[in-house]
C-alpha cells in the first residue's frame, strides 16, 4: 500500500489551497450553468485541464510511460476515471437543481468517506483526540447546516432529487480518491491526473454542444475558463497532498470547504445579488462553523498515536 512522504506541512498547505478553490467553485459553476449545459461545462473543464497538464509534463519530460504500470494499475485507472467523471456529472446536475451552499454541504460526505476509507484500506489511525475531533466536527455540521437540512426534507421534489444526486456524487468521489492514492505507487500525482483528465474528456465528448461555447457572454466565458483552471490547480494540489499526508488528515482539512462557500455566497450576494442570492447565517450557524473548524483542526494536526 502507498505510504505518505511525511512532509505534513506541505500536505497541509496543498490541502488548504484545495479548500479555497473548491470552496468558491460551486458559485462559479452555478453562474456558468445559466448559459451552458452540464455536459459541455464538464467537457471544457477536463479538456483544458488535460491540455495544460500535458504541456507542463511534456516540458519537464515527465509524461507517463506504459512500462510504469502493472496489470492492476490499469484497473485502478479505469475505476478512478469513471468515478471522477461520475462525480463531476452528479455534483453539477445536483448543483443545477439546488443551491451552491446546499451542494457544498452535502458533498462534504466525500472527504468524510475518504477519511474512513483511509482508516480501513491504508491502516491509518486516529487517536482519542482525533476521534473527539470527529465528534466535534459532526456536531458542528448538524448545527451549521440545520436550516439547509430542513430545506432538503421540506422542499419540492426537484430540490430533494438534486440533493440525492450530490450524495451519490460524494460516494463515487471517495472511491476515486482511494484509487488515486493507491496509484501513487506507480505514477506521480500529475501523471495520474493527466490520464484521468484525458479519459474523462473522451467520455463527455459525444454529449458536448460545441457551438454553444462561442455564443455565451463574456461573463460566462471568463467564468467557464476560471472553472477549468480551478479544476487543474485544485485537483493537482489535492493529488499532491495525498503524496505527503495521510488521506484521513487531508479529508479533515477538506471539510472546511463549505465554510468558505457560505462566506463567498455572502460576499458575492452583496456585490452582485442577481448572480447569487444570499444565505444568511444564524447564531446557531456561526457556533456550528466554529465547531467544524475546531474539529477539522483537531483531526488534521494531532499526530496519530
How far apart, in whole angstroms, are the C-alpha atoms of residue 53 and residue 47? 10
What's the CA gap between 204 and 210, in Å, rounded? Answer: 12
Q: Which residues, at least 6 apart from 73, have a Cβ–Cβ distance to it below 8 Å?
A: 183, 186, 187
pLDDT in tens, 155-206: 556 777 888 899 999 999 989 988 888 888 888 878 888 999 999 999 999 9
Residue matched to cell numbers 493507491: 182
pTM above 0.75, yes or no: yes
Range in 18-27, 140-149, 247-256 with the lowest mean pLDDT: 140-149
Residues 78-99: pLDDT tens digits? Answer: 999 999 999 999 999 998 888 8
Give the phi and the psi of residue 193 in degrees, each rounded to 5.
-65, -35
Amino acid at each position: 500500500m502507498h505510504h505518505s512522504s511525511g512532509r505534513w506541512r506541505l500536505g497541509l498547505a496543498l490541502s488548504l489551497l484545495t479548500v479555497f478553490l473548491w470552496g468558491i467553485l460551486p458559485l462559479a459553476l452555478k453562474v456558468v450553468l445559466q448559459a451552458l449545459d452540464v455536459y459541455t461545462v464538464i467537457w471544457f473543464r477536463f479538456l483544458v485541464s488535460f491540455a495544460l497538464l500535458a504541456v507542463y509534463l511534456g516540458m519537464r519530460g515527465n509524461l507517463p510511460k506504459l512500462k510504469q504500470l502493472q496489470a492492476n494499475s490499469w484497473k485502478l485507472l479505469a475505476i478512478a476515471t469513471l468515478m471522477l467523471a461520475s462525480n463531476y456529472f452528479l455534483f453539477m446536475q445536483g448543483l443545477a437543481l439546488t443551491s451552491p451552499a446546499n451542494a457544498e454541504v452535502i458533498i462534504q460526505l466525500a472527504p468524510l468517506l475518504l477519511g474512513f476509507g483511509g482508516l480501513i484500506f491504508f491502516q491509518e489511525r486516529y487517536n482519542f483526540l482525533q476521534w473527539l475531533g470527529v465528534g466535534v466536527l459532526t456536531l458542528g455540521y448538524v448545527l451549521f447546516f440545520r436550516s439547509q437540512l430542513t430545506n432538503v426534507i421540506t422542499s419540492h421534489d426537484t430540490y430533494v432529487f438534486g440533493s440525492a444526486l450530490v450524495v451519490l456524487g460524494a460516494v463515487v468521489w471517495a472511491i476515486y480518491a482511494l484509487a488515486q492514492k493507491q496509484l501513487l505507487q506507480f505514477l506521480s500525482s500529475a501523471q495520474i491526473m493527466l490520464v484521468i483528465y484525458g479519459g474523462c474528456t473522451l467520455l463527455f465528448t459525444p454529449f458536448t454542444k460545441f457551438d454553444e461555447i462561442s455564443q455565451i457572454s463574456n461573463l460566462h466565458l471568463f467564468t467557464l475558463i476560471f472553472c477549468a483552471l480551478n479544476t487543474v490547480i485544485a485537483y493537482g494540489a489535492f493529488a499532491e497532498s495525498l503524496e505527503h499526508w495521510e488521506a484521513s488528515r487531508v479529508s479533515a482539512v477538506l471539510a472546511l470547504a463549505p465554510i468558505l462557500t457560505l462566506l463567498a455566497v455572502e460576499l458575492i450576494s452583496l456585490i452582485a445579488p442577481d448572480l447569487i442570492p444570499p444565505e444568511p447565517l444564524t447564531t446557531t450557524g456561526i457556533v456550528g462553523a466554529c465547531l467544524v473548524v475546531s474539529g477539522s483542526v483537531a483531526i488534521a494536526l494531532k499526530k496519530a498515536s
